[in-house]
Every structure is written in structure tokens, then in C-alpha cells.
A and B are shown apart, each in its own frame.
Chain A
């Protein structure tokens, strides 16, 4: 089965840039999506199809996907960005959804 690997935690100071990675075998050939989940809340998509943002999501969130790594970049990080972030792809070979293990973003 397809596996996505994310670092368990990332820390960043306010105003700096956070870079969250998601590794998977040739993930660049798939569409990668990113969700933000705050405590006690359901996940919310912040980037879809590698680099598109849903309406209402700040342009500080951006994404890229190439080779074996998809990346979510959060620029000018704010305290309100502190959350867990999950990457997700669809495995078309098995018709299964796949989530990464999640990265806890801490704003120092």
C-alpha cells in the first residue's frame, strides 16, 4: 500500500516561514492535498492539487509537489497557524485514500 511520511513536528518563530514536507514514492505523479486540523475540530483543506488554494484560505499557504516530496509552505507564520497538518493523496491503483502521519506545527 502507498505510504506518505511527514515529520512529526516543525517549530517556527512568528513571521518566519514554515516548510512542511510529505514524502512518498513518486508522489509528484499524484495530486497532493494538505489539511489543517486544530484541536477538537475537523480537518480543513488548505491546499489541493499540489498548489491550489480554496477560496478563503490565505495566500500565505502555498504548495508544491515534485519527485518524491510534496511541500506545504506557510509564509509569515502567525500564532493562529499552530495546528496539525496532514498531506493526502488518492491511490488510483487501489481506490484508497492515503493520509500522511501528520506534522504538528508549533509557533514559538
Chain B
């Protein structure tokens, strides 16, 4: 079965770091363009970051400089680390796969993991 499963959510203190993981089954993470999208409570979707199959990475302005997207081929898993978190980073974090080829939409999403930043 093809799916994405996020883990790593929870309560984080302001100024700390969050690290969420996205484990894939049924396909290879490193052969795809993989992204993170987040959604603050009651708010809309916000694109956060993407890693291309070749390893290039890109970040939204809201997280650039404090965010790192990475992957572990042996675990077929993608990660997102965000440092210096604030309450503004409280959100459900989704991982998503960009459709193969020249498509620019996300064809597969995980169920999301909630990260709450609070003291």
C-alpha cells in the first residue's frame, strides 16, 4: 500500500526545536520530490519546504534560516527540523509527495502530526 505516515508531533517549548518524520511505504522517498505543508489550527494550508530527488532543497520565507529538510534513504523517511520555534509554528505538519513528471501538484499526503509550541 502506498502511504505516508508522520510522527514526532507533541508539545515543544518556545525557542526549542521540532523534528518531525515522514515514513513512506510503497514507493521510494529519494526518487520523488517530497514536501512539508503545515496548517495552523483553524487556518489554511502553508507550504513549508521541499526536497527534490536530486537533493536540492527550498524553504518558505517564514522558516528559511531555521528549517532543515532531510531524508534517510535506509529508512525511506523524510524529516523536517525547525529551530527557534514560536507559537506561530503551532500547526499540523503534513508531508506530501509531488506528482511524478512535470506535474506540480501533491498527489499523496500523510495524515499529519500536530506540533504545539507552548510554555
Interface residues, chain A, CB within 8 Å of chain B? 1, 30-31, 33, 35, 37, 41-45, 48-49, 54, 84, 86, 88-90, 94-102
Contact = CB atoms under 8 A, between A and B. Distances in A.
Contacts, number: 64
A102 B112 CA distance: 18
Contact of A42 (B44, B46, B60, B109): B109
Range for the number of chain B residues in contact with chain A = 20 to 34
Interface stretch (B8-16, B69-77, B80-88, B97-105): B97-105
In the A-B complex, the 7 residue pairs with the smallest Cβ-Cβ separation, listed nearest first, are A97-B47, A90-B104, A33-B105, A42-B109, A102-B44, A99-B45, A95-B58
A42 B109 CA distance: 7
A96 B62 CA distance: 12
A102 B47 CA distance: 13
A44 B94 CA distance: 12
